[in-house]
């Protein structure tokens, strides 16, 4: 059974064009003050860019 509350879904937005390209989950308990930052491929920019988490999903 899945526990509720510990994990939350966050969107990953491109820091260049601000488009939301990915969705991921993060663990609030372990990552309370850590902002995710990942190099990922952006379709709009057509290259790898830095993606940052955003609290609200579109």
Residues 19-58 that bind Zn ion (CB under 5 A): 42, 44-45
Q: How many residues at the interface with Zn ion, by CB under 5 A?
A: 6
Nearer CB in complex with Zn ion: 31/45? 45
DSSP the chain: -PPSSSEEEEEEEETTT--EEEEEEEETTT-TTPPPEEEEEETTTTEEEEEEEESS--
What is the closest distance, in whole angstroms, from the C-beta atom of residue 51 to Zn ion in the complex? 8
In the set 6, 16, 36, 38, which binds Zn ion (CB under 5 A)? 16
């Amino acid at each position: 059974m899945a526990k509720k509350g510990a994990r939350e879904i966050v969107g990953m937005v491109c820091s260049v064009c601000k488009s939301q390209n990915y969705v991921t989950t993060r663990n609030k308990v372990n990552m309370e003050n850590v902002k995710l930052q990942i190099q990922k491929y952006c379709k709009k920019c057509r290259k790898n860019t830095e993606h940052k988490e955003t609290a609200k999903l579109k």
